[in-house]
Amino acid sequence: MNRTQTWVYQGGGNFLFPNDTELSLWPSPQPVGYVPEGSLSVLPGPGDSQLLRDDLPVDGTLLRERTGTQVYQMVNQRKYPVSGHDPAQVRLVPNNSIDRVPNP
């Protein structure tokens, strides 16, 4: 609530919108939700437990930047270029946000 950053979560990882223009160009935008300070540091776990949030998507997640053509698959917290994938399984991330995911 005390910050101006907007994030999208894809495959369990968070990706920052670099500016309001990128956010406005997002396909099928959803309303931005405001959350209390520090609440994004944990996720609900089994039962009433909480799990520490992992910033990177889980293994197997397919990612592509909004205007990019290259699709990457997450394996061991690294991004690997792939082809021959199901386009319906690809999750979009804001332009220039995938650079923070390490290469192999």
pLDDT of residue 23: 87
Element (H, E) at 90: strand 90-93
Please write the tens of the pLDDT for every residue from 63-92: 999 999 999 999 999 999 999 999 999 999
Does residue 84 belong to any structural domain of this protein? yes
Does residue 74 belong to any structural domain of this protein? yes
Please write the tens of the pLDDT for every residue from 46-66: 676 665 556 889 999 999 999
Evaluate if residue 39 carries a pLDDT over 90.
Answer: no
Does residue 2 belong to any structural domain of this protein? no
Percentage of the chain with pLDDT > 70? 79
Helix, coil or strand: residue 22: helix
Cα Rg of the chain, angstroms: 14
pTM: 0.78
Number of domains present in the structure of the chain: 1
Does residue 1 belong to any structural domain of this protein? no
pLDDT of residue 46: 62
Domain span at 71: 7-100
